[in-house]
């Protein structure tokens, strides 16, 4: 479909009301509108923009209709507050009314459940930033307590009871039933909810959904998906008549953007499990078969901090506008701490690069004089080879051998027997040792601080998740992923200042907006009614 006058689509009544309500809100008035700002911390300027950048930066997504029907949220603890900004923008342009399926794991599972039953982005941000954060922060002494957890041998503690109670109250108030099931959510809200967990006994990912576990209470599924193995007692739950131990879905699949691909969770009659799974063979249970067909109606949301590597990061951050705002509106203690760490890291990186360059010079001088062909080096010739300070500078000496080292004295010390000869192997070992020391100092800058057993296990789980991430992500997933860089806020952070939380929301909002601008620039999206689009522009200008 193109954008011609004859192909314009009139917005449905309910969607029109959503936009009208959103565009008059005070929060909406504060948001950046018009073309994408270049002041987002990227290296791009107007002279370096390509054709796609130029096309995207003038797009207003509110003028277009998008095909997305499925939302998938990654795990990321309090970084997931950024999803609230994404939801705010989707609500603003009328996309949320089209959503039929939502999925997530960990904190992403919380967001997906709350979206499925109709909580607003503001309510979700309060629930994540205040209610859930307080439970997980104090979880070490909640539930069964430290001693009982150790005695059970499955984990240090359990905050599962408190989480269950909170979700029970929320669901009771919103839905009228604290134990509402996947089937009941599907019938009442017309939403397919998928909660991704890890089955410890079967050592696999499981997808709780109206198709697979229709009678399971959704709050039980979310509790399972939040359970960090080793830190919290895993949930023992009878599912379809069999007891299994379940833990955090992010252990094996932190970003389940694939979950609505293929036939496995499809509700179409021809994709019923009884028809697909019998006769049973390996091909029908293999994830590459179950989730084979790419679903271009899925929109995923991934979060990562400045210090976290992400296999899609370079492509996700090539979109102008995703790094707005560059910093919180108030420099919080956490922001100051991470900024100082970033400066220290930059200094160490420069030192490491300088050392590598100096070592390369050192090696080339050895090669030029053919010192690498013998076991013993004549100290006299060795000194002569390095006496030209224009070739091997005093700064190079410091980089290779360390501060307060004079090269002549260093060579003398290597002549242990006083024979005028230096062992080539010992010389190289000294150079390598100093280089390794510089490299280790650089690595130490990225060291995660483990202030408690819970933080230790959180970091351990994050490490596992990062290294298993490639098992479920394909190259083309970048085209359906909103990447949200959470800046100075990392997975293990529990205490967030209100300005840190607002920073996350703003990043989520602008990253979603940027994604949709580029989506329009690359795809033929149908335009909305001129009258509705014009009214939005007039009211928000």
Position 261 scores a pLDDT of 97
Long-range pairs, 452-459, Cβ under 8 A, ≥24: 452/140, 453/140, 453/156, 453/231, 454/139, 454/140, 454/156, 454/157, 454/228, 454/231, 455/492, 456/231, 457/156, 457/228, 457/229, 457/230, 457/231, 458/77, 458/228, 458/231, 458/491, 458/492, 459/491, 459/492
Mention every residue, 6+ apart, whose C-beta is less than 8 A from residue 273: 211, 212
* pLDDT band for position 505 (cuts 50, 70, 90): very high
Maximum separation of any 2 CA atoms in the chain, in Å: 95
Q: Identify whether the C-beta of residue 253 lies closer than 8 Å to the C-beta of residue 472.
A: yes
pLDDT > 80? residue 15: no
Position 45 scores a pLDDT of 60
Residues 193-235: tens digit of each pLDDT: 999 999 888 888 999 999 999 999 999 999 888 887 765 666 6
Greater model confidence, 162 or 303: 303
* pLDDT band for position 258 (cuts 50, 70, 90): very high
Position 452 scores a pLDDT of 55
Average pLDDT value for residue range 459-482: 75
Position 64 scores a pLDDT of 96
Residues 347-360: tens digit of each pLDDT: 877 887 888 888 88
pLDDT > 50? residue 431: yes
Mention every residue, 6+ apart, whose C-beta is less than 8 A from residue 295: 70, 260, 261, 262
Position 92 scores a pLDDT of 96
Residues 186-199: tens digit of each pLDDT: 999 999 999 999 98
Position 144 scores a pLDDT of 41
* pLDDT band for position 141 (cuts 50, 70, 90): very low
Taking CA atoms, 493 is separated from 60, 322, 447, 448, in Å, by 34, 22, 14, 11
What is the rounded distance in angstroms from the CA atom of residue 513 to the CA atom of residue 511? 5
Return mean pLDDT, the chain.
80
Query: How large is the C-alpha radius of gyration of the chain?
Result: 28
Q: 71 pairs with which residues across the strands?
A: 102, 299
Average pLDDT value for residue range 66-84: 96
pLDDT > 90? residue 138: no
Q: 193 pairs with which residues across the strands?
A: 102
- CB atoms under 10 Å from CB of 131, counted, come to 15
Residues 88-106: tens digit of each pLDDT: 999 999 999 999 999 999 9
pLDDT > 90? residue 44: no
* pLDDT band for position 16 (cuts 50, 70, 90): very low
Greater model confidence, 388 or 293: 293
Position 388 scores a pLDDT of 81
Phi, psi (rounded to 5 degrees) for 361: -60, -45
* pLDDT band for position 302 (cuts 50, 70, 90): very high
DSSP code string of 436-487: HHHHHHHHHHTPPP--SHHHHHHHHHHHHHHHHGGGS--GGGGGGEEEEE-T
Question: Which residue is listed with tokens 């080879």?
Answer: 385
Residues shown for the chain:
541
Position 25 scores a pLDDT of 44
What is the rounded distance in angstroms from the CA atom of residue 358 to the CA atom of residue 277? 62
* E strand or H helix that includes residue 232: strand 230-232
What is the rounded distance in angstroms from the CA atom of residue 65 to the CA atom of residue 265? 25
pLDDT > 60? residue 20: no
Position 416 scores a pLDDT of 84
Pick the CATH number of 72-260+295-307+452-509 from 3.50.40.10, 3.40.50.300, 3.40.1090.10, 3.30.479.30: 3.40.1090.10
Dig out the tokens for 367 from the structure. 């090669």
Residues 359-370: tens digit of each pLDDT: 888 888 888 877
- Domains of the chain: which residue ranges? 72-260+295-307+452-509, 342-445
What is the rounded distance in angstroms from the CA atom of residue 11 to the CA atom of residue 8? 10
- CB atoms under 10 Å from CB of 161, counted, come to 13
Average pLDDT value for residue range 370-375: 75
Mention every residue, 6+ apart, whose C-beta is less than 8 A from residue 23: 92, 536, 539, 540
Question: Which of 225, 114, 87, 115 has the alpha carbon at shortest distance from 169?
Answer: 114
């Amino acid at each position: 479909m193109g954008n011609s006058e004859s192909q314009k689509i009139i917005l449905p009544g309910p969607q029109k009301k959503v936009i009208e309500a959103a565009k008059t809100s005070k929060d909406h008035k504060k948001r950046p509108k018009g073309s994408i700002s270049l002041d987002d911390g990227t290296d791009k300027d107007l002279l370096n923009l390509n054709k796609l950048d130029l096309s995207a930066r003038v797009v207003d997504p509110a003028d277009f209709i998008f095909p997305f029907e499925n939302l998938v949220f990654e795990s990321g603890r309090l970084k997931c507050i950024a999803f609230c900004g994404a939801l705010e923008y989707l609500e603003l342009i009328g996309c949320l009314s089209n959503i039929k399926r939502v999925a997530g794991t960990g904190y992403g599972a919380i967001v997906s459940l709350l979206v499925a039953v109709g909580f607003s982005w503001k309510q979700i941000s309060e629930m994540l930033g205040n209610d859930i954060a307080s439970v997980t922060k104090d979880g070490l002494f909640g539930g069964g307590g430290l001693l009982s957890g150790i005695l059970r041998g499955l984990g240090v503690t359990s905050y599962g009871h408190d989480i269950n109670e909170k979700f029970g109250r929320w669901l009771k108030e919103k839905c009228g039933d604290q134990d509402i099931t996947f089937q009941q959510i599907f019938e009442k809200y017309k939403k397919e909810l998928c909660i991704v967990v890890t089955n410890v006994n079967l050592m696999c990912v499981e997808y709780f959904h109206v198709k697979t576990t229709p009678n399971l209470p959704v709050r039980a599924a979310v509790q399972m998906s939040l359970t960090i193995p080793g830190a919290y007692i895993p949930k023992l739950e009878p599912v379809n008549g069999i007891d299994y131990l379940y833990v955090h879905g992010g252990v094996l699949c932190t970003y389940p953007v694939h979950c609505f691909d293929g036939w496995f969770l499809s509700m179409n009659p021809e994709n019923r499990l009884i028809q697909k799974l019998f006769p049973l063979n390996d091909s029908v249970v293999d994830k590459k078969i179950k989730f084979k067909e790419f679903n271009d109606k899925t929109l995923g949301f991934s979060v990562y901090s400045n210090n976290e590597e992400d296999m899609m990061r370079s492509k996700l951050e090539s979109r102008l506008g995703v790094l707005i705002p560059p910093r919180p509106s108030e420099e919080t203690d956490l922001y100051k701490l991470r900024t100082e760490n970033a400066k220290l890291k930059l200094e160490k990186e420069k030192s490491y690069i300088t050392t590598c360059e100096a070592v390369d010079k050192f090696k080339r001088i050895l090669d030029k004089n053919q010192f690498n062909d013998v076991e013993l080096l004549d100290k006299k010739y060795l000194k002569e080879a390095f006496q030209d300070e224009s070739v091997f500078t005093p700064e190079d000496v410091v980089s290779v051998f360390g501060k307060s080292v004079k090269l002549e004295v260093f060579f003398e010390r290597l002549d242990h027997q006083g024979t005028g000869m230096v062992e080539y192997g010992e010389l190289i070992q000294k150079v390598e040792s100093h280089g390794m020391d510089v490299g280790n100092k650089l690595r130490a800058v990225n060291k995660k601080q483990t202030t408690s057993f819970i933080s230790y296990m959180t970091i351990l789980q994050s490490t596992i998740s990062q290294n298993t991430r490639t098992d479920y992500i394909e190259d083309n997933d970048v085209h359906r992923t909103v990447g949200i860089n959470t800046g100075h806020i990392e997975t293990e952070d529990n205490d967030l200042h209100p300005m840190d939380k607002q920073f996350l929301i703003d990043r989520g909002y602008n990253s979603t907006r940027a994604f949709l601008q580029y989506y329009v620039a690359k795809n033929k999206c149908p335009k909305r009614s001129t009258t509705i689009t014009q009214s939005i522009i007039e009211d928000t200008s």
